[in-house]
Structure 1
């Protein structure tokens, strides 16, 4: 990404209108977002949180591939699993309902059931919990966040199997099957 002024993105907490930008592909950028949430640029960790946050705001998913997009350029990057990692959660309860708020490694704040949905994918490496993010992207829940949700969840039978569930914003989400 050359000669593009991204200062307006950095200065504003408002999301840029990436969905309106349709530039041509300019090539690849040596940027990898690892499955542990680490950003690697040209072989070295991207240490500046402000840079990761700024780039995350112009991240776009198209046909299963991830790109950084500006009004004039689109560059392909590598993402090992999910481009975002949920690092914190906050569970609030009152007499009627619960509310779960997530914070990602790039300071996105989302309310489960309002801004995002949750699902668990089971594979050879075990359960991997995700939430939906903007533009069809997803964030993986850090293990400690997932365990906190499970610890605060409740058991419920769904289609003959015992699940651990959590409720947020009036919606119920399964955290996985409870094996006895």
Structure 2
């Protein structure tokens, strides 16, 4: 069965986004503790492209499948986890890129480069990093992984924040500062 990406974010209500998020069945990687640990020879570049042994992985369905197996431990190491293997993966910045957003009321949904949909809130906070000259915004995704907001998505979020003359946004009942600490 071929992969069908979700509809464009602009054409969905946040209720529809929430339904799509709930319908996606992800592997229970946090429950798996495989004994076999080694290196995957994979890398996720800062621009969100995936590589294996130096060659780009060009099949979006393959990237999406691998992305569903990602975790990040407390030391910041990313892993691809299956029931039988735990493979390290090099991540240059963030495992995902947030490529679009939609605001509805006081809630904000994001689309990632893997077509994942995430609604920001207490379980998926927005974090500001860097300094005032080179800030970066990140969205918590799952299992310790994050998405860095690309330039246009960052600009969209900044516009939302500036509507209220403050550098913060609210989503899911939580407020997130866009100013690096």
1:87 is aligned to 99
- Structure 2, gaps ≥5 residues long: 1-22
Counterpart among 31, 35, 45 of residue 34 in structure 1: 45
Looking at structure 2, the residues matched to 137 and 131 of structure 1 have their Cα atoms a distance apart, in angstroms, of: 9
- Structure 1, gaps ≥5 residues long: 1-11, 157-161
Q: Which runs of 4+ in 1 moved over 6 A?
A: none
**What root-mean-square deviation, in Å, do the aligned CA atoms of Structure 1 and Structure 2 show?**
2.1
Looking at structure 2, the residues matched to 26 and 79 of structure 1 have their Cα atoms a distance apart, in angstroms, of: 17
Looking at structure 1, the residues matched to 133 and 57 of structure 2 have their Cα atoms a distance apart, in angstroms, of: 27
CA deviations 1:55-108 (Å, max 9, x no partner) are 011112123211111101111110111111111100112xxxx11001111122
Looking at structure 1, the residues matched to 59 and 131 of structure 2 have their Cα atoms a distance apart, in angstroms, of: 33
Looking at structure 1, the residues matched to 132 and 87 of structure 2 have their Cα atoms a distance apart, in angstroms, of: 32
Report the TM-score, using the length of structure 1 for normalisation.
0.79
Higher strand share: 1
Report the TM-score, using the length of structure 2 for normalisation.
0.79
Q: Per-residue deviation at 1:136? A: 1.5
- Whichever of the two has the greater Rg, that structure is 1
Give the number of the structure with larger relative contact order, counting CA–CA contacts within 8 Å between residues 6 or more apart: 2
Looking at structure 1, the residues matched to 92 and 85 of structure 2 have their Cα atoms a distance apart, in angstroms, of: 23
